[in-house]
Structure 1
């Protein structure tokens, strides 16, 4: 190994030919060049050779260090193995009990994979506490790994144009600092995608750098993407009073939210993030979720989250074990930030299960990744009853972990009865989790202590809405059938109760200084949809029919108050269309009632067919410029109706919260 290190710099001979002849594979000296224009022949200069020798890829240094570590640890394990054999002298020579022998650690048994990954340009053994790309912060890390081929003039011109545009989007240093501080104090509790302490230190470096040279010269564009994501989240979620105090006009909010979101994506692309993996790109994507749905970027965000999950796994965030007790607080903070980030990605992935019937991140991570209940400042693990920056996300992570378990259990069942048993089982687990296991400061009826941070009350409101929505998601597959089959009446009652809880919290007076979180808009749409579908299966003369129709009207008015939110605008339009269809059904039913003296059950069945869900979905699809879900024309009436209702839910999901890809904006 020592010899390898010593001779590595001599492994490449200097070329004797000129550059052009070398490319044409003509051997000899530059003086003997056969080209007519010998003046065009260029031999590599000494400076160029020295420069090439100094630009050794970081992967080579990493390979040297890793091989040395593996050899050292392997020798240590061999000695321990021999000592174990010697201590078992009473048994047959050379025979060792495999169960009692000390196995080689993963580092040694995985050495072949580590080296193979390095050959691919990837590193399987990433340590986020000392990796150089994580130490650089906003400063660009000098590395050849993931670097594209030398840029042409057109590519350089395009890059320069992008940088000029990004520079024009950057507000004043004062505004940047206000946006960052607001995100740390009012939004980070909701997603925990990065460490406020670490980013604050890096942000100070960024401010010093911006005052001394060109804005983006030598910057780490993946870190810059995280900064734009933070600013986009603050601009999207800050209430109008706060924006006015900062000096932003009302019309600037939707424009800057969208442009800063797109700027973050541009920075990721400029950094070649799909090839050069760092934690900053994952943090940026996870942070963007809080603004993506309001500005109409739900589809883009769902794709980015999948990429972030794969990058996080390549960085080893899913393998962060228990920290040693003597670890310094700085390293512990970095590792804890990695755990929180990966838990956030798992939450995003698992909450989309009711829609996609699949998940990407292994469900076993819920038992392996356990972030601490601590604040970034002191990193002291607190009891669950003490509110910290991590408390809300940690509890939501436990709720999310139920979703893959429900999917796996239901997929093994072969009848509606056994599938519904699993739904009832996890409904019970969800209720217990939201009552008996909920931290005190998040419980709705518990008094709020004066020493608690402001986000304790915001988290209580948000969790009430989200927990109720997750109950609906657990029952989602049985919502349509519950309207016509009394065997599943519990689902109908449960979803109506959950929808009322959502609207009660959403429509209630909120803290004017608190952040505007997008789920309040999205999940209120989902709740109103439940009431609309229930009304379509009720007698218009019933009291509940009128109550539910009024709740839909109230929801439309609530959504219209969010003038700059795409999800609220689309939801209000869809609910207004649904309200008009229900009005038509009510008028037609009133006319027919005079000639129809059949039983109430027969009338209910006819009323359920008066609202043509398939036509309604097709019309709404055309209005929004998307393809409506296809349905067959030979299905039985009841099955067709069920499919139409599910198609309606599927169509509305990107905007109403029925789609798990858009359930959480962490």
Structure 2
């Protein structure tokens, strides 16, 4: 007789079958990760024992209460019985959390324009004080020590609609047949995993085999863990969103079905996580699901939602100890490697978002985990960095990402523009050194080896685009001034060169049969903004004006052909509006030249003042936002199925009342990332 235990995902077992589990590293714990947690009653009994033991310990230490730094919460309280460690008020982490509350509304308008294309908002403060065991899948349950329940469908529910993803019956309908699920999972492994490396592919494939062999592919099977289902949907979402149109057509997915399924699968991830109470029942599966979801979230228009879940994933990962996986950490090597991979990706995503949020959640000082090994899957030994593996690209990106928090710390410690610019120049030099001297040979321009994986050319282009964008982000705080202040001419030249590189590589990338990556679209929008701003601030046409505008037109044409991408939709709107400004300025200049004879009669000071009129960013931002807000459609049933309807919030339109610098670059970047349409 098979006895199942439900409740704690990481402790799930099947009685009577333990002896059949092989000692193979790839099989340990992985086989049963899809199983659901133990029953509420058994969990309640365990919690009662824990509470009793805590009460005994409190009684023994009661006479020391006056010397305790902080009192412990009542272990018998039904509403606040958490495993709590009182924070040290002098600890660095507390100071960091305090500092993060001082986020400013973006300094520069260029990042606001790019920000708007992603639909990003600022991350809220997130505090977690849960103790952390070693990060292995078989580790004891970590999280809120309380009687949590996984949401279950009511057997009496009637009239379930197809838009109601809160029911597992509807979630089941979203899954393709077994063959197509395997196709999507394998495509993700072969064509997309190199980019983010959020999970260990052999583990997922073993779990998927068990899902079909033991659970018959049923999400409603009592042994299936909904956090694993969320992970599976995240992988499927990434595949169907990022695969090229030709591959999708070969597999029978029309553009309309891809658009529908990608958004519904995204929502299915969130639904499964919530039904599994993932914020209380901590598991590496939820961390992998959320981190993997980033590859599709921005293009689907869920950037704001994703940023919040990423913040939660960081805290869950820390509670699991993923931030301190070293060679001395006990546990299975396969599980530790999986933990190192997802933690490295969390760090990269957090640090790369720093230019927009002006803060970071993960302090590098307290991230002690080693980098994932440069090794092939199913191999336990590390290879030289010169050999391409599935982890190689993300390992190098992690190194580049590490520059961002150090740059931010340096900028925040300065008191003058001069010393701040010194920090910019310092880290500009550091990034250039990394990109040229520390870059693996297979990511450079050396001849391709036919034995290398098929994704190497894609990785090269992505690295060129990403590193060029990071150069821009290093200079972002002085980019606006660089258009009007010759002291920052180096920043202007650097960002223009980086923008041209981004667009050149993007134009080449769309000709390849590789995955559609959100960074290609988002960073090309940022590059276009910079080129247009350069044209607008030059006033009179110069030799480079035509070249800049042609590159922007090339990007606009590509974005118009993109399908199922909110980045492309917003980018087209923003770039088109900026090009209209260029045309208006050109018309004004033509009129001015025709009236040159009259201008000669004007006093020189007045004439000089007239000719200094340039692009008014603040006015453009207000006009653009009000026009698009007026045209924004109402929320659809899809969003209502899994989330409460989003209402306009004052902070969503803060730019309408903010006193923006007229040359601010970040205002425009924000426009490129702001959600105008709901799904």
If the TM-score is normalised by the length of the shorter chain, which range does it land in?
0.7 to 0.9
The alpha-carbon deviation at position 201 of structure 1 amounts to 0.9
Match of 1:547 in 2: 547
**Alpha carbons 2:472, 2:498 under 8 Å: kept:** yes
Q: How does 1:307-456 map to 2 (within 5 A)?
A: 307-323=312-328, 331-365=332-366, 368-443=369-444, 445-456=445-456
2: CA distance, partners of 1:149 / 1:563: 35
Shift of 1:275: 1.0
Matched, 1:225 2:224: no
- TM-fit CA distance, 1:622: 1.9
Question: How far is the alpha carbon of 1:219 from its aligned partner?
Answer: 1.1
CA contact under 8 A between 1:320 and 1:369: conserved in structure 2? yes
- Are the structure 2 counterparts of residues 243 and 599 from structure 1 closer, same or farther at C-alpha, using a change threshold of 3 Å? farther
**TM-score after normalising by structure 1:** 0.75
Change (3 A) 1:157 1:306: farther
CA contact (8 A) 2:150 2:276 kept: no
The 2-side partners of 1:568 and 1:521 are apart by 6
Which residue is 2:257 aligned to? 252
CA distance in 1, matches of 2:137, 2:49: 14
Q: 2:291 aligns to what?
A: 286
Structure 1 residues 262-277: aligned runs within 5 Å? 262-277=267-282
Quote how far apart the aligned CAs of 1:477 are: 0.7
1:124 lines up with 2:131 in the alignment: yes
Residue 557 (1) aligns with residue 574 (2): no
Alignment of 1:80-159 (within 5 A): 120-121=82-83, 124-129=131-136, 131=138, 146-147=148-149
What SS does structure 2 have at the residue aligned with 1:545?
Answer: helix
What is residue 65 of structure 2 aligned with on the other side?
none
Q: For 1:560-616, what per-residue CA distance to the aligned partner results, in whole angstroms no more than 9, with x for missing partners?
A: 110321111110111011001110001101211242459999989756634222221
User: After superposition, where does 1:501-520 map in structure 2 within 5 Å?
Assistant: 501-508=501-508, 510=510, 512-520=512-520
Partners of 2:611 and 2:342 in 1: how far apart? Answer: 49
Q: Kindly tell me: are residues 569 and 416 of structure 1, through their superposed partners in 2, closer, same or farther at Cα, counting changes over 3 Å?
A: same
TM-score when scaled to structure 2? 0.73
CA contact (8 A) 1:538 1:604 kept: no
Q: CA deviation at 1:217?
A: 3.3
Alpha-carbon distance, 1:65 to partner: 12
Contact 1:537–1:608 (Cα < 8 Å) also in 2: no
Does structure 1 residue 627 correspond to structure 2 residue 629? Answer: no
Please name the residue that 1:108 is paired with. none
Query: Structure 1 residues 577 and 222, CA, compared in 2 at 3 Å: closer, same or farther?
Result: same
- Note closer, same or farther for the CA distance 1:309–1:212 as it changes in structure 2 (3 Å cut): closer
Instruction: Select between 346-355 and 418-427 the one with higher mean Cα deviation.
Output: 346-355
Tell me the secondary structure at the aligned position of residue 642 of structure 1: coil
**1:556, 1:640 → 2: CA distance?**
27
- Offset, 1:57: 4.5
Task: Number of aligned residue pairs: give it.
Answer: 545
Task: Work out whether 1:648 is the aligned partner of 2:654.
Answer: no
**Structure 1 348/150 Cα, relative in aligned 2: closer, same or farther at 3 Å?**
closer
2:616 to 612, 618, 626: 612
Q: Secondary structure of 1:540's match?
A: coil
Q: Distance in 1 between matches of 2:605 and 2:250?
A: 59
Specify which of 296, 303, 306 is matched with residue 298 of structure 1. 303
Unaligned stretches of 5+ in structure 2?
1-38, 55-70, 85-129, 630-651
How far apart are 1:406 and its partner, in Å? 0.6
Rounded Cα–Cα distance in structure 2 between residues aligned with 1:291 and 1:620: 26
Match of 2:569 in 1: 569
Deviations 1:210-262 (Å, cap 9, x if unpaired)? 42867443310000000000000000011111112212223211111111000
Q: C-alpha displacement at 1:323, in angstroms?
A: 4.4
**1:454-474, Cα deviation, whole Å (9 max, x unpaired):** 122211110000000000000
Deviations 1:176-207 (A, max 9, x none): 11011111111111111111011111111001
Aligned mates of 1:569, 1:604 — CA distance in 2 = 40
Instruction: Tell me the residue number matched to 1:462.
Output: 462
- SS of the residue corresponding to residue 214 of structure 2 reads helix
Residues 144, 368 of structure 1: alpha-carbon distance in 2 compared, 3 angstrom cutoff: closer
Which 10-residue stretch deviates more, 617-626 or 112-121? 112-121
Rg comparison, structure with higher value: 1
Q: 1:174 to 1:407 in 2, by over 3 A?
A: same
Q: Which has the higher helix share?
A: 1
Tell me: higher relative CO, structure 1 or 2? Use CA pairs within 8 A at least 6 residues apart. Answer: 2
| Kept after mapping to 2: 8 A contact 1:318/1:342 | yes
In the TM superposition, what is the alpha-carbon distance from 1:525 to its structure 2 partner? 0.3
**d(CA) in 1 for partners of 2:313, 2:613:** 44
Stretches of structure 1 that go unaligned for 5 or more consecutive residues are 1-50, 67-111, 136-142, 634-638, 657-666
Distance 1:606 1:162, change over 3 A: farther
Q: 1:192 to 1:130 in 2, by over 3 A?
A: closer
Q: Which moved more, 1:114-123 or 1:365-374?
A: 114-123
**Residues in 1 aligned to 2:53 and 2:199: alpha-carbon distance in whole angstroms:** 29
Paired residue secondary structure (2:557): helix
8 Å contact from structure 1 (residues 58, 145) kept in 2: no
